């Protein structure tokens, strides 16, 4: 039922005032008089339908009416105006003086359990929350306190993702591949770990920390039969994750994420060599050559095909940013000369040429669908890096050698933590939208729901 759309029969016009009022639209509620309008909105005053004979649940004797009580409940807003229901209901007394149920009140059928609001308002609140609105926005729309909205949402999520409000549900489906990664939970270097079904993107498990214990807890949660059907796990080079999975399930394949390999090469090799060369040229009295390296970090990191595309965009006068009059923002077009600059850098230094070669071989390795072929490419990269005698290249060669199996296994499965990195970005956005969530349990439940909406 749509509680915000009422039929014409529920409308009344106050005489001589020209103001349109609506009836509450609640069954079992008999409205008395016209709604009262004040700073809190509209208040509908009335009583419950007369109930028939009522009997004591303890001794089965007939109960007698013993006065009445009054309660005020928040109700669904009408036309943006918050409403309340002020309802009178009967109180009963058992004539048996020895009965423990000496007094009893008439139940309000439209009152939401655990809240001083109507069931329609609770349903409306849950609907707004399902659209992804923040607690603050829903509180403003419904007239409820933000903590009441949070309580309603948490109860809804607990019913969805737990079996008894305390035990997390088992995964909805059997996963073939998993992905695991940590994310920042709070400021102060507090982290949590997320494990997802790689194919669906659903978050299956969340826990504080980023150690082996999290993996063990997850494996205990899903049980051996479920884990035995998982073929591979994508992760970064966190040794704790690998040791925990392989320790209990040796046949499980670990796939190291491509993004982390490339990022390590760019940050620890390309960037460091560029800085070393710029420093060396400046010390040797070659300021012009050193100047050529300024702002060249992303040029050296990019593929040649990317540089060619940027030059093509420049020839077509492609706009990067349009001009604006309000803030006097300039028009910015794509810059050309990227490939020429790149070639000049390669000619100036043999190490830069080696960087270009390694980038090309890494690209070929990750385009391979055969484990042996990918392993051969990686071993070739290791040999090239060692031959340079450069400390940064040697570091990268050791990194590849230590994690060789987990890297070339990518050719077999083609999985990465990319989906999880995308979810991590959504986690950051969700945390910012809510200005942080001190209740971690509620935040984790929100993230589980978010992952299912994102898929």
| DSSP string covering 36-90 | EEETTEEEEEEEEPPP---B-TTT-PBEEEEEEEEEEEEEEEETTEEEEEEEEEE
Buried b (16+ CB within 10 A) or exposed e, 403-434: bbebbbbbbebebbbebbbebbeebeebbebb
Question: Which helix (H) or strand (E) is 255 found in, with range?
Answer: strand 253-256
What pLDDT shows up at residue 430? 87
Predicted structure pTM score: 0.82
What pLDDT shows up at residue 73? 93
Listed in sequence order, the DSSP H helices in 207-269 are 212-227, 239-248, 258-265
Task: For 23, list phi and psi in degrees, rounded to 5.
Answer: -80, 165
CB 286 within 8 A of CB 440: no
What pLDDT shows up at residue 51? 65
Tokens 């700073």, located at residue: 39
CA distance 53 to 64: 9
What pLDDT shows up at residue 356? 93
Task: For 146, list phi and psi in degrees, rounded to 5.
Answer: -60, -35
Q: Would you state the structure tokens that stand for residue 259, as one six-digit string?
A: 């993004």
What pLDDT shows up at residue 272? 94
Question: Which helix (H) or strand (E) is 191 found in, with range?
Answer: strand 190-197
196 three-state secondary structure = strand
Per-residue CA distances from 150 to 56, 73, 136, 138, 443 (Å): 37, 18, 9, 10, 11
Count Cβ atoms within 10 A of the Cβ of residue 17 and give its class: 0-12 exposed, 13-18 middle, 19 or more buried.
exposed
Which pLDDT tens digits describe the chain residue by residue (455 residues)? 333 334 334 444 444 444 445 566 687 888 888 888 888 888 989 888 766 556 666 676 677 677 788 999 999 988 888 999 999 888 777 766 667 666 677 788 899 999 999 999 999 999 999 988 899 999 999 999 999 999 999 999 999 999 988 899 999 899 999 999 998 887 766 899 999 999 999 999 999 988 899 999 999 999 999 999 999 999 988 889 999 999 999 999 999 999 999 999 999 999 999 999 888 888 888 888 788 888 888 888 998 899 999 999 999 889 888 888 888 888 888 889 999 988 888 887 889 999 999 999 999 999 999 999 999 999 999 999 999 999 999 999 999 999 999 999 999 999 998 888 888 888 888 888 887 788 999 999 999 999 988 55
Task: Report CA torsion sign: 24, 27, 29, 30.
Answer: positive
What pLDDT shows up at residue 132? 86
Using only C-alpha atoms, what is the Rg of the chain? 33
């Amino acid at each position: 039922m749509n509680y915000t759309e009422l039929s014409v029969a529920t409308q009344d016009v106050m005489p001589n005032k020209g103001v349109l009022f609506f009836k509450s639209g609640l069954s079992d509620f008999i409205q008395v008089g016209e709604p009262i309008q004040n700073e809190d909105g509209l208040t509908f005053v009335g009583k419950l339908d007369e109930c028939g004979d009522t009997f004591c649940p303890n001794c089965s004797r007939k109960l007698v009416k013993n006065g009445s009580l009054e309660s005020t409940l928040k109700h669904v807003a009408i036309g943006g105006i918050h409403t309340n229901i002020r309802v009178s209901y009967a109180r009963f007394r058992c004539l048996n003086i020895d009965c423990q149920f000496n007094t009893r009140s008439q139940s309000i059928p439209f009152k939401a359990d655990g809240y001083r609001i109507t069931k329609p308002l609770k349903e409306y609140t849950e609907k707004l929350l399902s659209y992804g609105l923040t607690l603050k926005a829903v509180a403003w729309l419904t007239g409820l306190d933000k903590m009441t909205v949070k309580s309603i949402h948490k109860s809804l999520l607990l019913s969805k993702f737990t079996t008894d409000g305390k035990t997390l549900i088992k995964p909805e489906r059997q996963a073939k591949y998993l992905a695991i990664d940590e994310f920042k939970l709070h400021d102060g270097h507090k982290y949590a770990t997320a494990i997802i079904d790689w194919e669906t993107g659903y978050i299956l498990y969340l826990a504080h920390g980023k150690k082996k214990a999290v993996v063990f807890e997850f494996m205990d949660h899903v049980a051996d039969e479920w884990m035995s059907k998982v073929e591979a796990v994508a992760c970064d080079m966190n040794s704790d994750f690998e040791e925990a999975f392989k320790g209990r399930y040796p046949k499980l394949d670990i796939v190291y994420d491509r993004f982390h390999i490339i990022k390590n090469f760019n940050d620890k090799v390309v960037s460091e060599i560029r800085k070393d060369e710029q420093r060396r040229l400046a010390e040797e009295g070659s300021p012009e050559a050193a100047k050529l390296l300024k702002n060249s970090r992303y040029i050296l990191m990019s593929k040649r095909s990317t540089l060619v595309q940027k030059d093509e965009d420049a020839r077509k006068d492609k706009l990067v940013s349009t001009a604006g009059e309000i803030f006097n923002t300039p028009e910015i077009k794509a810059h050309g000369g990227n490939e020429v600059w790149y070639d000049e850098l390669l000619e100036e230094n043999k190490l830069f040429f080696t960087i270009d070669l390694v980038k090309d071989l890494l690209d070929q390795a990750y385009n391979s669908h055969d484990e042996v072929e990918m392993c051969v490419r990686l071993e070739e990269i290791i040999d090239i890096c060692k031959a340079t005698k450069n400390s940064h290249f040697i570091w990268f060669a050791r990194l590849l050698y230590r994690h060789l199996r987990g890297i070339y296994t990518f050719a077999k499965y083609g999985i990465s933590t990319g989906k999880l990195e995308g979810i991590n970005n959504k986690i950051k956005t969700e945390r910012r939208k809510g200005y942080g969530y001190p209740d971690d349990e509620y935040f984790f439940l929100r993230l589980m729901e978010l992952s299912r909406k994102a898929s």
